[in-house]
Structure 1
C-alpha cells in the first residue's frame, strides 16, 4: 500500500511538473525578461502571452471584458486555485451579496465570509507612460501561475485575483514609440506624439463616476456590478523625488461620507505593504504626509472604489526601461513616520521597480489570504452600516457645520467661559468638565431641516429628461440601486409622474450615492494659519447632479410608492414622445441636449431647421432658441428615429409659427489640438462626436499658415491653448517636457508641432474674426481677449501699496476645481436653453471686469456673471466674495466676427452637461431673421 501511494504521488508530481514546464516564461515569449533595461512589450505581445498562460495553466481563466476605444480587446486574468476556478460563479455571488448587504444579518454574513474567497483586483497600465504598471502585471501573472511555494499556494487557495489590463491602446502606442529606436540607449518615453487613450490620455483616471470612455465602462462593470472586490490595487508612477514609492495610508482630508472601516482598512493594508518592504530590505516607501495623495476625490479608478466600501490602494513608484537616478533630497534621508526606511541616492533599474511591485502585490494578496473571512465580512459590515444610516435620521458632519457650532457658541452672550478654560482652549485643549454645552450641538447637528436625505426623486417631467437618464445611468454603472415609478405617486405633498426615478439612500453604496447628489464641503486647508493653501490632489467639488443640471428632490422622510427595483447594471433608455399633429412642422426644445443630435442629423440630411429667438409661447418646447423643422417626409422619418433613440420630445405644429425665426446651417468647425495631445481638446472631440458635430482638428501650424476664413467658420480653443499676455507667467504645462525638435520628430507628426504665439498666431486669428469668423475660447484661452486688447480686465486682482496691480494671492483667494452657480442672460443666442441660474465647473478660472461704457457701446456683451458673494455650490472657494459682480462669460464683436469667452470649464471632462449648450449654440451659422406670413400656433 505504501509503495502504491508513493508511486501515485510520484506520477502526480511528474504530471504537475509537466504542466508547469509548459507555462512559458516572459523571456521565452517576449525575448527578454520583464524588467530588462531598454525593453518594453507591446499590447499585441502581451495579449498573446495572456492567452498562452490561460491555455497552459489551470490556475487561470481569461475574460474579455470589452472593446477599447480603438477596438482592441481588454482582458482580465482571473487567477486562483483550480478548485476555486470551478466554483467562480459561487464566489462571485458571495462577493456581490456581501458587498450589497441586502437582506443579510451578521450570522449569515459570517457564514458566507467563511465559505467565500477574498476577491482582490490588481490593475496596471492605466497611464501608459507609467510602464512599470503594465509590466508588473505581466510578471505578477507569471509568478502566481508558475510558483509552487507555500505562500503562493495559500494565496491561490484563499483568494480570487482579478489581474486587469487598464489601457491596452496606450500600451501599444507608448511601447511602439519607445522601441522605434534600434539603439537601446537612444530610446525614450519623452514626446509621445498623441494621447495614450484615444480621447483623454491621463484623464482616463478621472472618468470613473460618469464612465464616458469604453475602457472605464469595461472596468467599472467588473468593479461595481460583477465582482465588487473587497480590495483593489491601482499601480501608478512616479514616486516623490528622493523616495522609491508612495503608498497607503494617505494624507488628509478624507471624504466625510466614508465608512471608518474603509479608512482603517487602508491603514491595515498599508502596514502590511510597508512591513513586507522592510522585511525584504526594500527602502524608500513613503506615506501620509510624505506624498500628495489623498482620499478626498471621487472619479479615479482607485478613489471611486473608496465610495463603494472597497479598500482602494494606490502606489506611485519610480522606474522605467531607461535607468534613472534616485536623486539626493536631503530632507528625505532622515527616518520619520512618513518614511521609516529612507532610500539613499543611487542608480535605479527597471527590474528593481518590477521586483518592488511584485512584492507589494504579494503583500496585499498575503493579507487577503490570511484575513480572508475578515475582509469579506468587513465589506458586508460597511454596506450594512450604510443601509442602517440610510434608514433613519442622520446628520452629516462637515467643516461648515462644525464652524456653525463654533459660531453659535461664540455669538451667544449668555455662554460661560472661565479664564482658565479660555486660555487652554486656544491650544485645542478642553479640560475635564470643559467643552461646550450640548445645546449647541443639538441646535446645529440635529436641526430637522439639516437631516441627511432618505432618498432622491428625479421627476420624469423635467425639461431635459434624456440627460437626467444619462445621470441615472452613471449611477447604475457604478452599482447604485435605482428604482422607477410604475405609476403616478405623491411624496411630501408633491405629485410625480410615472417613469420618474427614485434612488433611496438605504443601500450599501450610500457614500457614492450621496457624493453624486450632495455638495462636497472641502475644508479650508492651509499650510499654516494665514499661509498659502494646500492644493487638493484633484477636484475639491464635483456633484454630478449639479454639473448635469438634473432636477431632483431631496426627500428627508421615509417614503414609498409604486416603485420597481431595476436590476443591477441594467442601463436605461429615455422614452421620447411625438405630440400633436405636424401639419406644418415640428418643434424641438432648446433645453434638451439631445435636441442638438437630432438637429445635426437633420442638417446632415439636407432638412431645413430654424431657430426661434423669441420662442412661440408653446410649452414645454417653445422657449427662446427652440428649433423649428418644417414638415416633410424626410423630417418625419428622422424625427421618429430621434424620438425613439434619443428620448427627446417633439411637438407637432398644425400651423407655422409667426414669430421671428433664423435658418440654421452647419458650420465648418475647427478644434485646436497640439503635439502630444490636449486632454481638454480630446474631451471636446469626443463630445462633438457624441452630438454629431462634424469638425476638423487643427494645430498651431494650420493657424499660422493663414487664410483661415476660407476653410473654417468657427475655431474652438479649449483651456491652455492661448498663452498669457504676461511673458513672465510660468506655463505649468511646459514643465512636463520640452518641445520636441523637428529633425527628431517622425515626418507624419511634424505638422502637429508648434504652439499658439502672440506674434504669428494671434494676428491670423484677428484677421479670421474681422472677416466674419467665430472664435470660442474656454478657460485660460480667454487670454485671447487680452491679446486683442478688448476693454476687459481680470476681476481677481488687487492694488499693492506701491500702486502695482497684481493677482490676488492664495491666502486671500483660492478656488480649485469646484461647482459654482452663475447668473445667465438666457435671452442671448449664446445661452439659449440654459436656466437663468446655472451650475458651472470652475477651476481657478478667469473672471472679468468690464467697464460700463464698454457694455453700453456694445463692445462687450456679458453672458454670465456672479451676482452674489457666495456662489459656491460644491467644493472649496476661499475668498469667494471676490467673485461678486465678476463676468464669467461674454461675447465681443470683432469686425464681422465674434469672440466668445467662457471663463469656467463649460465642457469639463464631458461631465458638465448643464453647460454644453454654451458651446453647442455657437456651432451653427444662422441666417438673417425672418417672420412667417401665415398665422401661427
Structure 2
C-alpha cells in the first residue's frame, strides 16, 4: 500500500511538473519567431516581459532586479537551478562567498563546504549591443535550461547555480529598434547606428569595471564581487577573427603577473572543455592562444576584472548576426595548428549557427562546472588562501623589471665567470661555477629576489590629511565596489615611524583579492613585446598600464613590514563618504581648495544660484595652506546654505575666514560650454559629457554642421574637442578617416538624426574655429584633436620625429618608440591659471599621445605658454614605454593666445574614461569666464 501511495504521488508530481512546463512560453510563442531566425531581433521591453513570464511559470528560475540602468530601465539577473537548489540558494551564495574570501577556513572545512556547495556560474549577454548574438543567445539559453529534461540538463541544474545576466538593457532597445525599423526584412542592417548603445560610453562599458562609474557596471560588479563571487564567469562578445568562427580560451600572452597560476590553468581547462564540445559536435572554427588578439593582461573589462578576483573568466568572440554573412577565405587559417585545431572553410553563415554554437559553449561550461563543482569551489578557496598567505609574509613577485635586474647583476659583476666556448661553459659548470645545462649562479637571483626593498608590500595607508581626500575616498570606494576589504583607523596611530590621523584608510594585502588590490596600487610592468627581435611591437589588447591610485593622484604609503593599529574592518561593499565640515566661523566668507575636485561641484552650484565666486591667484598670503587658485565665496545666508549642502552631500571641507583675503581676486562666472560629438557617438565625448554632469558644468553637445554654420561666439564661450575630433593636416589618421567613410548618406538617415551628420573639415570647420578664437572664445583640445594647433599654424611641431638620410622628417618608427596606454609623469607649471590646484609633478594617462616641440622664440614672443612637459628621460610610471627617452624635453600641454581668445592643447588623455581624476582640473580650470560676459578680459578686485 505504501508503495502504491508513493507511485501515485510520483505520477501526480510528474503531471504537475508537465503542466507547469507547458505554461512556460517558448521564444517563438512569445516573440513570434525562433531565436536565431534571420533578420529578427527583439527589444529589451519584450525580453523583460519574457523574463517575467518564464520566472512566473518555472520553478527553476528566480528573477532578481539588480538595479536601474543609466536610461532608467530595470536590469535583471535570472538565477536558474533545480527547484531544490533554489530553496537553498541563500546558503549556496553564502558558501560561494566564504570560499572566495577564504578567511578563517581550514583546508578540511573548505573541502566540506566544497562538497556541500554548488558551482556558481555567471553567463551574460548584450554588453556590446551591436554584437547581437550575445543578447539573443541569453534568451535561448534560458529557454533551454527551463524546458529541457535530458540527463545533461538535469545534472547541470542539480549541480550548478547559474546567474544569467543581461549586461546592457538600454543598448538592446536602441539597437533592435534601429535594425527593425526597416519593414523589408532582407534590407535590414545594423550599420550606422546614430548614437552610442550605452547612454554615455558605448563600447567602453567594457572598460569600466575597476572604477565602476556607470550604473550598469555597478549593478553587475556588486553581483560579481560582493554578492555571489562565482567560480566561473562567461562573457559573450563578437566578433571572431576573419577566417574563424570564434576566438576563445586560452588566451595569448602576456598574462598579468599578479595572477594565481590556478586561475590561468583553470582557464586552460575550461577552454579545453569548450573546444572539445564543438569538435564532438562537428562545429569547426574555434581559435585560441596566438590565433587572436585577446590576452589576460588588462584589468577593467567585465571578463578581465574577474581574473584579478580568482574567478575563471571566459571570453568568446563569435561571428554572426541577424543578417546572413560570409565566412571569408583567409588561406593562412586553413592549416590546422595549435591555435586552430579544426579550421572552418569559407561558407555562408547564418544567425542560427551562431546561436547554436553559443548554446554548445554554454552547455560545455555548465557541464564542466557540474562535473567538477567541488574542484571549482575548492580551487577558488585555494587561490584566495594563497593570496592571504602571500600577503602575510615576505613575498617577491616576478616581473620583467626584476628579471632585467637579475641580468644586470650578472652582466655588471666583474668577478663573474666568463667563457666564450661551450666546452669552457661545461667546464665551469663541472666545477660548480655555472649550473649544468646553462644559466647563471643562483646568487644573482638572490641579489634581486631576496633584497628586502624589492619585496611586495604588506599593505597601504591612505592618510586622511592629503590635498584631495574626497578623490582618495572615491578611490577607496572603487576598491570597495570590487570586494576589497578596507579598514579605517579609529584613532591616531604610527607605522614605520610615521604618524597618521584617525580616519585614515588601511588596505592590507593579506586578503583573497590581493591580485586586484596590488593592481590598483602598484605599477604594471608590461614586457617588451615585439613580433620578432628588432621588429615592430605587438599592440596590447587595451591599456598596458592603468594604476588607478596614480591616475587619481591618491597619496598613499606602501608598507613593507607587518603592521597593526586601531583599525576597524569596514563592512564588505559599504561605500564611504568623507566627513565634511566648515572650519572657522566664516564671518567674511569661505575658501574652497583648488586642489579638491569636488570643490568645482560646489562652485558650479553657487554660480547657478547667482552667488559671487572669486579665485585667489596668490592664495591667501598669511595662510600658506591656501594655495593659488583657491575659490573665495563672500559670506551670505544663501551661500552658507548651499555650502552646508555640499559639506553634507560631498564630504567637502570648507574654510571659513573672518577677513577678506588680502591681494587680488579674480571673479569667475559660468561659461557657455559646447562639447563636440559626432554621428554615431564618440566615446571620449560621452565620458566628458558624463563627467561634466557629475561636476555640474552646464554644457551643450554640438555637431560639425553647427560649427560649419558659424556665429559660434554668439552662442558659446568655450568648445571642447576630445581625441579623434580634429583630423590631421593633410589627412593620414586612419582611425578618423575610416570612421568618416562609414558616415551614412543624408537621404538614408532619419530626419531627427540628420543634424548630427558631418565632420570637421579643413575648408569649412577650421576657419570658423579660428574666427571663434579670434573673437575671444576658448578652445580646449585633448589627445589627437591637438591637431588643431597645426591647422592654426601655431609655432609648434611634433617632438616625436627623426631625420632620414635624405633630410626628410618622419615619425619615429615603432621599433624605436612605442608607448601604448600607460601612466607617465610630467612636470607642471603650477603657477598658471590653467594648472591651478595641480602638483609640480603630475601623473598623466598617455596613449600614443602627441608631444610637441616649440619654435625657438615661441615662448619669448608670448605665442606659446608651456603648461606641462617631460623633464626626465624615464617618465614611465606604469605600463610600457619603449624608447621613452625620446620624450625628454617634449611639451605635453600648452596654451596659445589666438586673437582675443585662448587655445589649449593637452596631449595626454586628461579625462581618460573618467578614471584620470588627478588631471580633471586641466579641463575644469578652463571652463570659467574670468571676466565680463562676452570677453576674455579679467575682473581683478583688490581686497584688504
Please classify the TM superposition score into its range, dividing by the shorter chain length.
over 0.9
| Superposed CA offset, 1:747-772 (max 9, x none) | 00000000000000000000000000
Give the 3 Å change call, closer, same or farther, for CA 618–505 of structure 1 in structure 2: farther
Asked if 1 retains the 8 angstrom alpha-carbon contact of 2:664 and 2:942, the reply is no
**CA distance change for structure 1 residues 260 and 422 in 2, over 3 Å: closer, same or farther?**
farther
Q: Which residue of 2 aligns with 1:790?
A: 794
The equivalent of 2:718 in structure 1 is 714
Q: How does 1:293-308 map to 2 (within 5 A)?
A: 293-308=294-309
Contact 1:617/1:623 (<8 A) preserved: no
Q: Aligned partners of 2:562 and 2:750: how far apart in 1?
A: 64
* Residue matched to 1:212: 213
> Residues 358-402 of structure 1, C-alpha deviation per residue, up to 9 Å, x if partnerless?
000000000000001000000000000000000000112110110
Query: In 1, Cα distance between the equivalents of 2:378 and 2:7?
Result: 41
Aligned mates of 1:343, 1:423 — CA distance in 2: 52
Structure 1 position 35, deviation (Å): 0.1
Task: For residue 97 of structure 2, give the secondary structure of its aligned residue in structure 1.
Answer: helix
The residue correspondences of 1:175-194 to structure 2 (distance < 5 A) are: 175-194=176-195
Aligned equivalents of 2:819 and 2:905: distance in 1? 19
| CA distance in 2 between partners of 1:444 and 1:175 (Å) | 57
Report the secondary structure of 2:105's partner residue. Answer: coil
Q: Contact 1:795 / 1:886 at 8 angstroms: preserved in 2?
A: yes
CA distance in 1, matches of 2:545, 2:758: 34
Q: CA deviation at 1:13?
A: 2.0
In structure 1, the residue matched to 2:490 is: 486
What residue number does 2:47 align with? 46
Q: How many angstroms apart in 2 are the aligned matches of 1:216 and 1:606?
A: 36
Alpha-carbon distance in structure 2 between the residues aligned to 1:93 and 1:841? 39
What is the aligned counterpart of 2:816 among 812, 815, 837? 812
Q: Which residue of 2 aligns with 1:577?
A: 581
For residues 79 and 663 of structure 1, what CA distance do their matches in structure 2 show?
A: 60
Offset of 1:565 from its aligned partner? 0.1
Q: Which of residues 836, 861, 865 in structure 1 aligns to 2:840?
A: 836
State the shift of 1:733 in Å.
6.2
Range with bigger deviation, 780-789 or 850-859:
850-859
Alignment correspondent of 2:872:
868
Matched, 1:765 2:769: yes
The DSSP-based 3-state class of the residue aligned with 1:786 is helix
Q: Provide the residue aligned with 1:629 in structure 2.
A: 633
Once the two structures are overlaid, the 10-residue window that deviates more, 603-612 or 723-732, is: 723-732
Q: Deviations over 1:645-700 (max 9, x none)?
A: 11121111111112111100100000000000000000000000000000000000
By how many angstroms is 1:438 displaced? 1.5
The CA deviation string for residues 878-911 of structure 1, in whole angstroms up to 9 with x for no partner, is 0000000000000000000000000000000000
Aligned mate of 2:884, from 877, 880, 883: 880
Match in the other structure for 1:243: 244
* 3-state SS, counterpart of residue 662 of structure 1: strand
Q: 1:165: how far off?
A: 0.1
Deviations 1:388-421 (A, max 9, x none): 0000001121101101111111121211133344
What's the secondary structure of 2:859's corresponding residue? helix
Q: Within 2, Cα distance between the matches of 1:47 and 1:620?
A: 58
Cα distance change on mapping 1:249 and 1:893 into 2, 3 Å: same
In the alignment, the residues of structure 1 paired with residue 728 and residue 938 of structure 2 have an alpha-carbon distance, to the nearest angstrom, of 38
Q: d(CA) in 2 for partners of 1:54 and 1:17? A: 16
Aligned-partner SS, 1:540: coil
* Aligned pair partner of 1:549 in 540, 549, 553: 553
Contact 1:588 1:621 in 2 (8 A): no
Q: Is residue 539 of structure 2 the alignment partner of residue 538 of structure 1?
A: no
Relative to structure 1, the CA distance from residue 98 to residue 59 in structure 2 (aligned partners, 3 Å threshold; closer, same or farther) is same
How much does 1:472 deviate?
Answer: 0.1
Q: How does 1:55-74 map onto structure 2 within 5 Å?
A: 55-74=56-75
Worse-matched range after superposition: 656-665 or 688-697: 656-665
Is 2:386 the partner of 1:394?
Answer: no
Q: Which residue number corresponds to residue 671 of structure 1?
A: 675
Paired residue for 1:910?
914
Distance 1:33 1:460 in 2: 58
Q: What SS does the corresponding residue of 1:798 show, helix, strand or coil? A: strand
Cα separation, 1, equivalents of 2:424 and 2:762:
59
Cα RMSD after superposing both structures:
1.3
Tell me, which stretches of 5 or more residues in structure 2 are unaligned?
427-433, 932-936
Shift of residue 738, structure 1, vs aligned partner: 1.2
Does residue 140 in structure 1 map to residue 144 in structure 2? no
- Tell me if structure 2 keeps the 8 A contact 1:585–1:628: yes
**2:528 match:** 524
What residue number does 1:412 align with? 413
Pick one of 440, 449, 456 that aligns with 2:453. 449
Identify the residue that residue 723 of structure 1 maps to in structure 2.
727
Residues 646 and 652, structure 2, Cα contact 8 Å, conserved in 1: yes
* Mapped partners of 2:356, 2:740: distance in 1: 27
Q: Is 1:264 equivalent to 2:270 in the alignment? A: no
Q: Distance in 1 between matches of 2:662 and 2:459?
A: 45
- Give the CA deviation at 1:170: 0.1
Instruction: After superposing the two structures, state which structure 1 stretch, 880-889 or 925-934, moved more.
Output: 925-934
Tell me which residue corresponds to 1:687: 691
1:114-193 alignment, distance < 5 Å: 114-193=115-194
Matched, 1:338 2:342: no
- SS of aligned partner of 1:164: strand
Task: Write the distance in 1 (CA, Å) between the matches of 2:736 and 2:337.
Answer: 31
Deviation digits for residues 322-353 of structure 1 (CA, Å, limit 9, x no counterpart):
00000000011110000000000000000000
How many angstroms does 1:434 deviate by? 3.4
What is the match of residue 901 of structure 1? 905
Looking at structure 1, the residues matched to 68 and 743 of structure 2 have their Cα atoms a distance apart, in angstroms, of 33
1: distance between equivalents of 2:880 and 2:655?
A: 42
Rate the CA distance shift 1:737–1:757 in 2: closer, same or farther, 3 A: closer
Any idea what SS the aligned residue of 1:283 has?
coil
Distance 1:342 1:544, change over 3 A: same
C-alpha deviation, 1:727, in angstroms: 2.4
Contact 1:791/1:854 (<8 A) preserved: yes
**Distance across 1 between alignment mates of 2:803 and 2:792:** 24
Could you tell me whether the CA contact under 8 Å between 1:191 and 1:737 is conserved in 2? no
Cα displacement (A) at 1:9: 3.2
Q: What's 2:32 paired with?
A: 31
Deviation at 1:734, TM superposition (A): 1.5
Does the Cα contact within 8 Å between 1:660 and 1:929 map onto a contact in 2?
A: no
Render the CA deviation track for 1:493-527: whole Å, top value 9, x for unaligned.
10000000000000000000000000000000000
Of 637-646 and 891-900, the range deviating more from structure 2: 637-646
Distance in 2 of aligned mates of 1:293 and 1:193: 28
- List per-residue Cα deviations over 1:594-653 (Å, max 9, x = no partner): 000000000000000000111114557510101000000001111111111111211111
Match of 1:462 in 2: 466
* Structure 1: 5+ residue stretches without partners: none
Note the 1:748-759 alignment, pairs <5 A.
748-759=752-763
Change (3 A) 1:495 1:58: same
- Residue 433 of structure 1 deviates from its aligned partner by 5.4
CA distance in 1, matches of 2:547, 2:679: 33
Query: 1:80-117: per-residue Cα shift (whole Å, max 9, x none)?
Result: 00000000110000000000000011000000000000
Aligned residues: 931
Shift of 1:735: 5.5
* Mapping for residues 772-787 of structure 1, pairs under 5 Å: 772-787=776-791
1:376 paired with 2:383, answer no
Determine the structure 1 residue equivalent to 2:895. 891
2 CA distance for matches of 1:729 and 1:769? Answer: 25
Change (3 A) 1:632 1:838: same
Structure 1 residues 171 and 621 mapped into 2: Cα distance closer, same or farther (>3 Å)? farther
Give the whole-Å Cα distance in 1 for the aligned partners of 2:906 and 2:303.
Answer: 32
Say if 1:422 and 1:515 are closer, same or farther in 2 by CA, change over 3 A.
farther
Counterparts of 1:178 and 1:45 in 2: how far apart (Å)? 15
Tell me if structure 1 keeps the 8 A contact 2:524–2:878. yes
